[in-house]
């Protein structure tokens, strides 16, 4: 396990943060979120990599890469794949580090189909409904769980 490596994965449509349904997802862009995460990581000497894809297979390959580089944790917002993807669940099950599932919105306050998450079957912790600051909450949790330089 590479204690100082953390992988952050963003699923489909999250590249549109800031302009996509701002009433639900707010005005912060994905670039801003990733920059803030990098700043926090730098302060504690963590090596963080952030990746967004609209393609299920690319997210799965990124999970495999996190497995191979021995990432201490994956912070993942699988977006709509949360509710559909057994393949992402299977990839996360093959990963040995911590898994934190993040949702910007409170999915339990929304449509019924968002109430089920395949990823939650693997997640060590779930953060939902805190807006984009959920990613920082997740990173703090990972740091407190023992990620260090
Ligand atoms: C989301 C919630 C999902 O239901 C939705 O499909 C998303 C974003 C969130 O961050 O609140 O794309 O994961």
DSSP string, 26-82: -S--HHHHHHHHHHHHHHHT-EEEEEE-S-HHHHHHHHHHHHHTTEEEEEEE-GGGG
Q: Which residue of 20, 79, 115 sits with most ligand 1 atoms within 8 Å of its CB, as the best mutation to test the pocket? A: 79
Six-digit token string for 62? 């990124």
> What is the per-residue pLDDT across 102-143, written as a single tens digit (0 to 9) for each?
999 999 999 999 999 999 999 999 999 999 999 999 999 999
Residues flanking ligand 1, CB < 6 Å: 13, 77, 79-80, 82, 103-105, 107, 114
22-42 average pLDDT score: 96
| CA–CA separation, 87 and 57 (whole Å) | 9
Examine the residue annotation and report whether 25 is marked as an active-site residue of this protein.
yes
> What is the per-residue pLDDT across 77-94, written as a single tens digit (0 to 9) for each?
999 999 999 999 999 999
Examine the residue annotation and report whether 4 is marked as an active-site residue of this protein.
no
CB within 8 Å of 22: residues ≥ 6 apart? none
| Ligand 1 atom with least separation from CA of 14 | 12
**CA 77 to ligand 1 centroid distance, Å:** 7
């Amino acid at each position: 396990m590479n204690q100082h490596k953390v992988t952050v994965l963003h699923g489909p449509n999250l590249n549109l943060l800031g302009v996509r349904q701002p009433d639900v997802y707010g005005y912060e862009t994905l670039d801003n979120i990733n920059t803030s995460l990098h700043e926090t990581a730098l302060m504690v000497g963590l090596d963080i990599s952030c990746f967004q894809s609209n393609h299920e297979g690319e997210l799965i390959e990124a999970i495999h890469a996190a497995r191979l580089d021995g990432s201490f944790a994956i912070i993942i917002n699988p977006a709509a794949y949360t509710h559909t993807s057994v393949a992402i669940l299977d990839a996360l099950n093959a990963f040995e580090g911590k898994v934190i599932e993040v949702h910007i919105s409170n999915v339990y306050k929304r449509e019924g189909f968002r109430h089920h998450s395949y990823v939650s079957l693997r997640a060590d912790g779930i953060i939902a409904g805190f807006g984009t600051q959920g990613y920082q909450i997740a990173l703090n949790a990972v740091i407190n769980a023992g990620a260090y330089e």
